Amino acid sequence: MTERAMRKVRTGRVVSRSGDKSAVIEMERLMRHPTYGKYVRRRKKLHVHDEKNECQVGDLIRVMETRPVSKMKRWRLVEVVEKAK
């Protein structure tokens, strides 16, 4: 039996509660522009499965890659790192 590869884990801020057991998070990273050298913010949105409805808008959460749960959701909530103020 072969071992599975480690699943990707990402951290992002909740920007929307898109229905029951769902959330949308936004990840932000700094990227150096190839020509000008200036640092540019790049954002990516992920749809997350939140089984217990525990995260709220503004929370910082950790998510893990998983099998497709629905049309858009490919990530699931691991933990709430920081609650919104």
- Tokens at residue 70, please? 């629905």
Q: Is 71 exposed, middle or buried (0-12, 13-18, 19+ CB in 10 A)?
A: exposed
Count the neighbouring beta carbons within 10 Å of the beta carbon of residue 10.
16
Burial track 19-39 (b if 16+ CB lie within 10 A, e otherwise): eebbbbbeeeeeeeeeeeeee
Q: What is the pLDDT along the chain (85 residues), one digit of tens a residue?
A: 788 889 999 999 999 998 999 999 999 999 999 999 999 999 999 999 999 999 999 999 999 999 999 999 999 999 999 999 8
Closest CA to 9 of 21, 24, 27, 23: 27
Q: What is the pLDDT of residue 18?
A: 86
Q: What is the set of domains in the chain, with CATH numbers?
A: 9-82 (2.40.50.140)
Q: What is the pLDDT of residue 14?
A: 97
pLDDT the model gives residue 28? 96
